[in-house]
Chains A and B, each alone.
Chain A
Amino acid sequence: MSQSVSERTRIKSERYESGVIPYAKMGYWDASYAVKATDILALFRITPQPGVDPVEAAAAVAGESSTATWTVVWTDLLTACDVYRAKAYRVDPVPSAPDQFFAYVAYEGDLFEEGSLANMTASIIGNVFGFKAVKALRLEDMRIPHSYLKTFQGPATGVIVERERLDKFGRPVLGATVKPKLGLSGKNYGRVVFEGLKGGLDFLKDDENINSQPFMRWRERFLYCIEGINRAAAATGEVKGSYLNVTAATIEEMYERAEFAKELGSIIVMIDLVIGYTAIQTMAIWARKHDMILHLHRAGNSTYARQKNHGINFRVICKWMRMSGVDHIHAGTVVGKLEGDPLMIQGFYDTLLKTKLNIDLPKGIFFDMDWASLRKCLPVASGGIHCGQMHQLLNYLGDDVVLQFGGGTIGHPDGIQAGATANRVALEAIVLARNEGRDYVEEGPQILRDTAKMCGPLQTALDLWKDISFNYASTDTADFADTPTANV
């Protein structure tokens, strides 16, 4: 025995020789892998660097989002590493994008802490998104297994219970965002809430960036909003609400604001996506405990959701937010001012509302997935919509949606009540016509014009906004659409 001890004990297996070997060879690629019902599945859109084999790129993504580091480590052998390694098991070319590939990756359930979105996302969208071997990377969809979903609370209230609490059935819920977003005093702000609710809206809403600024501190806003809500409820005999945004710098401060909203009798509070996944889950648990509806504004999402080749598809955010436990999430309008291809938006709505998802490639749904009885999350359509589009909105978005007309209510020449009434009357007329079996999409403009004959505010609104539309091509479009889709 002339060798040194380190030479004698060196690992002989080729797989564990020190150095850099391809990820695929390290075990992160397994074309024959049989997906388990408990696996978490992810679909990535990969744009490999020139010269990088797509299978190796897929294996690298699987590796970097699970157990791998850039070089071989012997400590792997102290673990059941074959189990913990994520496996890329399928790579498909992306139709009409020759440099891009869809990579399917399976993750063992035990890789993730139960009920922790932060933990799951730290792997799936962690370091891997900066990995040099891929030029760009986008998380397109995920299959969250029944077993893992059951460790999440899901929406605090859910669509069904929300409707029962609101006593509103058989039509979309109507809302509006107070405008201007910034600068109003508490008393003036509450005026907008009162006028909108009395005019016929179900909800008014703080905007995402209304927190507690010098021009209006949060307690002032809450007190005046509650005054407006109660006055409007007494004036109409309906349950009314206004999303009080409790977003703040610390979770303690958010708790304080939410507790005050509860004490005042608010039925709903609001948070922004930018508070982070852990804070969102925390507030959802608080909301369930205190019978509060929880609205989420998706502020920030377009920084990573909009471009097709890199980031996170919004349908994944929809899945994560339904798991996290919010009751409302802004999910696009199709016809408004913000990004939204019709098929993509319908995919988001299905993701939020269905009890089971089936593969639907034109809508961008890549996996079958059972929602494990997590409640339904109500999509919110907000941004540049008006009552003249009511037939299109109902057609694209269905009944389970909050239609939010901010400018489309408050911008009405005859005042906020008139704007609210125009929206409510237009909505009820279109729903009535649809239920009567009329071709309400085709006849929509005529139905609205006829209805406007007995509703002056609707007539004024139709005259004012008749030519407003936002016709720009979407950036996030279907890869598998049978027919080209476009904004309308």
Chain B
Amino acid sequence: MRITQGAFSFLPDLTDEQIQKQIEFSISKGWAISIEWTDDPHPRNAYWDMWGLPLFDCKDAGAVMYELNECRKLNPEGYIKIQAFDASIGTESCVLAFMVSRPASEPGFYLARTEGPGRLQRYAISSYTVEAKPSGCRY
């Protein structure tokens, strides 16, 4: 399966040239870019590992691409996404997030059910890979 988190996951994986254009767009808006990676892509995993701090002072998309490639070198098999933060009043949150690296194989998620009273079921989503292997050797 293909995890479709992020703004562009239904398109073919973005090329570096396409990624750079999205970064340039974000910088032009005054947003801070952050690179995050994980090997636990559960839909409610809110805290991926940060590749350093968000690049608050960076106005150069090339520098972001450099950091992205460094992150890829260290995490060649995990998921990496780029996020952009808008600190302006009334927003103060992430305003763009998209995947920039994903594993060659994505085993996906198991939907566990626990039968409850009446027809009630409790659902739990768990990643096959995360269940099977410890962090660091999942993909």
In the complex, what residues of A have CB within 8 A of residue B52's CB? none
- Docked pose: A200 CA to B12 CA in angstroms: 15
- Complex contact B83–A169 (CB within 8 A): yes
Which of A169, A231, A265 touches B111 (beta carbons < 8 Å)? Answer: A231
Distance A238 CA – B110 CA, assembled complex (angstroms)? 13
1/0 contact string of A427-442 vs chain B (CB within 8 Å): 0110110011100000
Report the bound CA distance from A84 to B43 in whole Å. Answer: 55
CA A168 to CA B96, docked complex, whole Å: 8
Q: Which residues of chain A from 431 to 459 have a CB within 8 Å of any chain B CB? A: 431-432, 435-437, 451, 454
Which A residues are CB-close (under 8 A) to B5? 167, 237-238
A interface secondary structure, majority? helix
Q: A163 in the interface, Cβ–Cβ < 8 Å?
A: yes
Checking B89, B95, B109 against A234 with a beta-carbon cut-off of 8 angstroms, the contacting residue is: B109
How many contacts A-B (CB < 8 Å)? 107
For A438, the closest partner residue in chain B by CB is B21
Give the Cβ gap from A218 to chain B, nearest Cβ, in Å: 13
Q: Which residues of chain B (70-123) have a CB below 8 Å from chain A?
A: 83-84, 89-98, 108-111, 119-121, 123
Task: For the complex formed, measure the closest distance between the CB of A461 and the CB atoms of chain B, giving whole angstroms.
Answer: 14
A residues near B120, Cβ cutoff 8 Å: 223, 263-264
Give Cα distance in the complex from A238 to B42, angstroms: 8
What residues of A have a CB within 8 angstroms of the CB of B61 in the complex? none
Nearest chain B residue, comparing its CB with the CB of A455? B10
Distance of A429 Cα from B9 Cα, bound (Å): 10
Chain A positions 208-257 with a Cβ under 8 Å from a chain B Cβ: 223, 226-227, 230-231, 233-239
A425 CA to B10 CA in the complex, in Å? 6
Whether the pair A171, B7 counts as a contact (CB closer than 8 A) is yes
* The one of A233, A237, A431, A451 that contacts B41, using a Cβ cutoff of 8 Å: A237
Q: A160-B93, A169-B83, A435-B25 are in contact. Are A428 and B125 (CB under 8 A)?
A: no
The complex places the Cα of A453 from the Cα of B42 at a distance, in Å, of 31
Q: Does residue B53 face the partner (Cβ distance < 8 Å to A)? A: no
Q: How large is the interface on A (under 10, 10 to 19, 20 to 34, 35 or more residues)?
A: 35 or more
Bound Cα distance from A408 to B119, whole angstroms: 33
Point out the residue from A169, A264, A376, A429 that lies within 8 Å of B96, measured CB to CB.
A169
Chain B residue numbers with a CB within 8 Å of A265 are 123
The reply to whether the CB of A151 lies closer than 8 angstroms to some CB of chain B is no
Residues of chain B within 8 A (CB-CB) of A264 are 120
Q: How far is the CB of B32 from chain A (nearest CB, A)?
A: 13
Q: Which residues of B contact A235 (CB under 8 A)?
A: 1, 108-109
- What's the Cα separation between A432 and B96 when bound, in Å? 11
Q: Which of B21, B43, B92, B119 contacts A237 (CB 8 A)?
A: B43
B21:A437 contact, CB within 8 angstroms: yes
Whether the Cβ atoms of A454 and B7 lie closer than 8 Å is no
- A235, B7: Cα distance in complex, Å: 17
CB-based nearest B residue for A434 = B25
B1 touches A169 (CB 8 A): no
Inter-chain contact A428/B94, CB cutoff 8 Å: no
Provide the bound-state CA to CA distance between A323 and B126, in Å: 39
Decide yes or no: A435 and B119 within 8 Å by CB, A170-B96, A428-B10 being known contacts.
no
Question: Contact at B10–A237, with CB atoms within 8 Å?
Answer: no
Name the B residues within 8 Å of A226 (CB-CB): 121, 123
Which residue in chain A gives the minimum CB-CB distance to B109? Answer: A234
B10 CB contacts on chain A under 8 angstroms: 200, 421, 424-425, 428
Nearest Cβ on chain A to B1's Cβ, whole angstroms: 7
Contact A200–B93 (Cβ < 8 Å):
no
Residues on A with beta carbons closer than 8 Å to the beta carbon of B25: 435-437
Interface string of B43-63 (1 = CB under 8 A from A): 110100000000000000000
Are A436 and B22 touching (Cβ within 8 A)? yes
Residue in contact with B1 in the complex, picked from A237, A435, A437, CB distance below 8 Å: A237
Cβ contact within 8 Å between A436 and B18: yes
Q: With the chains together, A221 CA to B22 CA distance in Å?
A: 41
Tell me if A163 and B109 are in contact (CB < 8 A). no
* A164 in contact (CB, < 8 A): yes
Given the complex, which residues of A lie within 8 Å of B42, measured CB to CB?
237
Which A residue sits closest to B127, measured CB to CB? A237
A395 within 8 A of partner (CB):
no
Question: Cβ of A355 < 8 Å from any Cβ of B?
Answer: yes
The distance in angstroms between the C-alpha atoms of A436 and B17, with both chains bound, is 10
Q: Does B69 interact with chain A (Cβ within 8 Å)?
A: no
B132 CB contacts on chain A under 8 angstroms: none
Within 8 A of A (CB), among B1-26: 1, 3-5, 7-12, 14, 18, 21-22, 25
Query: A163's closest neighbor in chain B, by CB?
Result: B93
Besides A164-B93, A167-B43, 13 more A-B contacts (Cβ < 8 Å) are: A160-B91, A167-B97, A170-B97, A223-B120, A226-B123, A230-B123, A237-B5, A238-B3, A239-B43, A355-B89, A428-B8, A428-B10, A451-B11
The 8 A-B pairs with the shortest beta carbon distances in the complex, nearest first, are A170-B96, A237-B3, A355-B90, A234-B111, A230-B123, A435-B25, A234-B109, A169-B97
The chain B residues found within 8 Å of chain A, CB to CB, are: 1, 3-5, 7-12, 14, 18, 21-22, 25, 41-44, 46, 83-84, 89-98, 108-111, 119-121, 123, 125
- Can you spell out 29 A-B residue pairs with CB atoms less than 8 angstroms apart? A167-B5, A170-B84, A170-B95, A200-B10, A223-B119, A223-B120, A227-B121, A233-B43, A233-B109, A234-B108, A234-B109, A235-B1, A236-B3, A236-B4, A237-B1, A237-B41, A237-B43, A237-B108, A237-B109, A239-B43, A355-B90, A376-B90, A425-B10, A432-B7, A435-B21, A435-B25, A435-B96, A436-B22, A451-B11
